[in-house]
Amino acid sequence: MTPATTWRSGWDMDNPLDIKTELVRKDGGTWEQGPVAGLEYRDLHLAANTDGALVGRHVRYTGKEGDASTDWQFHDADFQWFFVLNGSISVRTEDGQDLVLDKGASAYQPPYWRYRISAVSDDFEGVEVFGPSDYGTVTGKDAPKPKRAAEFAHLKGVYTFDRPDAYVRGDGPRRWSLYRDLGTRIPTDGRVHIHIIKLDEIEPSPPGGTGEHYHSMAQFFLPIRGWLDVARPGEPNQRVFAGDLMTLSRGSIHNAFDVSPDYMTLEFCVPAEYSTVATAAK
Ligand SMILES: [Fe+2]
């Protein structure tokens, strides 16, 4: 498939990005000032693990140095997306939307999409992913957009919310899980699929979990609630808790052998279309 958009970081669904495997604990790294005054940022090692094709940050409100509102701005980028872990963030967009993105909401915004942050709640916390890691920011309501913006002009922001009817059981590799699609597959020309996966008491995860398997994609997942036990050949078992982030490279074998009944996770997959292959009998 020929993608409609060209990314500076040079990958597409047929030549997908890989992400090196790492477990980044929720208390790992340091909080630092970043692009928006009033927010602070903790690096999630995506830039290091993708050679700069992506950058990911855990973000929270501090109120120091500013109230986290911004001027109108756009990003000279391939990709921009964020997810609200707690509290809310209010955003105005170039097509006249005035949005309050509350806990569990997701925002895909195309490159060169003009927007401003109008308010952030005191308890705001989120995760954001941009690509490439050296993307640019241009401020001003009338700042001219570069020529490359025309390639992305057909795209609009995709905002989704954590509502019960957004979940579909079995709409992913596991028939018992509930999946909520965050709408990035089409605007990224099949490069990125992001979804929320959760469990419920109606159809719990079977004993033994997923069994050993691999995917034809690279990914990261960040549990929002509960925990997941992961086994990988040659590695000690790891319990991944809410707030931790685990990257898994394309084709790496793993077994999610146990999980808390209330488990809910964000999962970011490249490319969007992939297969899952069982490698051992459960
Ligand atoms: Fe998996």
pLDDT in tens, 220-272: 999 999 999 999 999 999 999 999 999 999 999 999 999 999 999 999 999 99
Cα 274 to averaged position of ligand 1 atoms, centre (Å): 11
What number does CATH give the domain 29-160?
2.60.120.10
CATH 2.60.120.10 for domain 164-278, yes or no, is: yes
At residue 146, what is the residue type?
P
Determine the distance separating the centroid of ligand 1 and the alpha carbon of 114, expressed in angstroms: 36
Whether 246 and 227 have beta carbons less than 8 Å apart is answered as no
Phi, psi of 175 (to 5 degrees): -70, -25
One fold for both 29-160 and 164-278?
yes
| Spans of all domains in the chain | 29-160, 164-278
Q: Is the dihedral of CA 231, 179, 23, 45 positive or negative?
A: positive
Cα angle 272-80-170, degrees, rounded to a multiple of 5: 35
pLDDT, tens only, 205-232: 888 889 999 999 999 999 999 999 999 9
CA of 135 to the centre of ligand 1 (A): 30
Tokens 């929270």, located at residue: 60
Pairing of strands 22-24, 245-248: antiparallel
Q: Which residue has the tokens 């077994």?
A: 255
Distance CA 73, CA 188 (A): 21
- DSSP H or E stretch at residue 112: none
124 and 88 in contact (C-beta within 8 Å)? yes
Q: Tell me the pLDDT of the chain (282 aa) as tens digits.
A: 678 899 999 999 999 999 999 999 999 899 999 999 999 999 999 999 999 999 999 999 998 988 999 999 999 999 999 999 999 999 999 999 999 999 999 999 999 999 999 999 999 999 999 999 999 999 999 999 999 999 999 999 999 999 999 999 999 989 999 999 999 999 999 999 999 999 998 888 888 889 999 999 999 999 999 999 999 999 999 999 999 999 999 999 999 999 999 999 999 999 999 999 999 754
Q: What's the 195 CA to ligand 1 centre distance in angstroms? A: 13
CA of 127 to the centre of ligand 1 (A): 21
Q: Using CA atoms, how far apart are residues 198 and 97, in angstroms rounded to an integer? A: 29
Q: Measure the CA–CA gap between 77 and 245, rounded to whole angstroms.
A: 23
Three-state secondary-structure class, residue 46: helix
